[in-house]
Amino acid sequence: MKIGNDIYYIGVNDHNISLFEGQYRVPYGMSYNSYVIKDEKIAVIDTVEAGFTDTWLNNLKNAIGNKQVDYLIIQHMEPDHSGSINGFLKVYPNAKIVSSQRSFVMMKQFFGNDYTDNQMVIENGSLLSLGKHDLTFVSAPMVHWPEVTVTFDKTEGVLFSADAFGKFGANDVSDKWEREACKYYFGIVGKFGPQVQVVLKKINDFDIKKICPAHGPVLEENLSYYIGLYDTWSRYLPQKSGVVIAYTSVYGNTKKAVLELADLLKKGGKDVKLYNLARCDMTDAIADAFCYDKLVLATTTYNSEIFPFMREFISHLTERNYQGRVIGLIENGSWAPMANKVMKNMLEKSKNIQFTPTCVKILSSLNEESKGQLEMLARELIEN
């Protein structure tokens, strides 16, 4: 697929995968993106997962015919991007592998070979001319691995952004970019907001006309929208006003309470997202917890702790630097309820968290007292 005057998409779609990186549900599959620039010199940007090597090489051959590749640029060493290096070099043994020094260390670790005879080591600010096309390499450490480099083609204004601006889902499936990109960002990149901010500043002066990510579609319209979302996400700012209610329930009484709370909030004009953590795709719940400005956590005391799905959810949030939100707490316990205390302790290192004055305590099931607390919590969330 031609995406520029001299730039072609040669990636693949994976519909066999069910869990990306062994944990993220991807019902719409995944794309592994690769690109080729045809100039006086030919450069390929990234490979694909090893199971798709033959398909990818056929795509490359269809784009360049019998010409030889001069450069293989490896921006990121995760195997879904680097897994076909060996297969590539069998067909194009004289190509230079262009990558960071740390990438070559990882190549040795992954493949038992750092391709010494083919190496071209680059660093931040390195330049490579293909003829008409002048490439600038920008180091992007911890977005989301330490060796990552992104590439800017000044000639056509194309940013090859590695995992940045990527999303879940194959490219032959129509879905909403923002939703799947948000889930992808907070699932995979979210911990590294400060590092994303550094890269956004580095590319700020580039005249970017297209963004070619390692996953998902090529972005070429309204780029300020996509870049703006990355700026918001990486500064941990909420996108939307509303309340996410994440809960677990053993016998249905905690569920009944959160449904009543959701009804009160909706009557007060609040947008509400409700997640049963035992049944939902937790990636959805995590994404919305970061997108909205308020969060309610409701769970039972369990083995003198909290219910495992709630513990997992809060751990996902804190690992990704969850901050700057209003949080309400609801606990349920038949004896010695302590879930609210445990949840507060798990969030104690999170920055700029404001807990609502009311923490709801349910003793087995709702009574007049705990219903009154629910109403107070709803008012605090509506008025704050």
pLDDT of the residue at 304: 84
pLDDT of the residue at 238: 97
Average pLDDT over every residue of 339-363: 96
Give yes or no for residue 131 having a pLDDT over 90: yes
Q: Give the model's confidence band at 336: pLDDT under 50 very low, under 70 low, under 90 confident, else very high.
A: confident
CA distance 164 to 167: 9
Tens of pLDDT, residue by residue over 237-291, are 999 999 999 999 999 999 999 999 999 999 999 999 999 999 999 999 999 999 9
Tens of pLDDT, residue by residue over 40-51, are 999 999 999 999
The answer to whether 7-234 and 243-383 have equal CATH topology is: no
Residue in the block written with tokens 């700026």? 231
Average pLDDT over every residue of 325-344: 94
Cβ proximity of 362 and 372 under 8 Å: no
pLDDT of the residue at 126: 97
Top CATH class of 243-383 equals: alpha beta
What CATH number belongs to 7-234? 3.60.15.10
pTM of the full structure: 0.93
Average pLDDT over every residue of 14-22: 94
Q: Give the model's confidence band at 54: pLDDT under 50 very low, under 70 low, under 90 confident, else very high.
A: very high
**What type of residue is 51?**
G
Partners of residue 331 on adjacent β-strands = 299, 361
Cis, bond preceding 15 (omega within 30 deg of 0): no
pLDDT of the residue at 380: 98
pLDDT of the residue at 175: 80
Give yes or no for residue 353 having a pLDDT over 90: yes
pLDDT of the residue at 114: 94
Give yes or no for residue 184 having a pLDDT over 90: yes
> What is the residue extent of each domain of the chain?
7-234, 243-383
Query: In this structure, are strands 30-32 and 12-14 parallel, antiparallel, or unpaired?
Result: antiparallel
Give yes or no for residue 13 having a pLDDT over 90: yes
